[in-house]
Structure 1
Amino acid sequence: METRARSLLKAVLWQVIGLVTTTLVGLVLTGSAVVGGAMALANCAIGLLAYIIYERLWVHIRWGRLHG
């Protein structure tokens, strides 16, 4: 088990890695750092929203849960 602070730091760093890589891919594909950055921010926002919805849906699925 890890602390909440460690989990939070890992999540933030993972998001930063995702933002940087998406920005670089956008830069390579479009030739514009601004467009690449906008793509990265849009991806981050959409991904966050999708993840929240995904998690909320899984709350209602009982399959695979261990009770006891």
Structure 2
Amino acid sequence: METRKRSIVKAVIWNGLGLVSMTLVGLAATGSVKAGGAMALVNTGIGFTVYLAYECVWAQVQWGRRHV
């Protein structure tokens, strides 16, 4: 089982990468750093929350695990 701290660190790193890429996509789509950055921040906040919930659900699922 994965620790809560590990799940949070993974989520922060993943969302940091997403924030950068989404800012670039938003910039390309709107031509504005401010609008692209705002879109990216909203997307990152939602994504972070959903990812942590997703990890918590999968932490409870026993299917596919091998116990040694």
Aligned-pair identity in percent equals 53
C-alpha RMSD of matched pairs (Å): 2.5
Aligned residues: 61
Find the counterpart in structure 1 of residue 60 from structure 2. 60
The structure with more radius of gyration: 1
Aligned AA (2:37): G
Find the counterpart in structure 1 of residue 4 from structure 2. none
Query: Matches of 2:21 and 2:50 in 1, distance apart?
Result: 19
Find the counterpart in structure 2 of residue 28 from structure 1. 28
**Unaligned 5+ residue runs, structure 1?**
1-8
Pick closer, same or farther for the CA change 1:35–1:56 going to 2, 3 Å. same
TM-score, with length taken from structure 1? 0.70
Deviation string, structure 1 residues 7-61 (Cα, Å, up to 9, x no partner): xx98766544322221111011112111100111111111110111001111221
Aligned AA (1:65): R
Moved over 6 A (4+): none
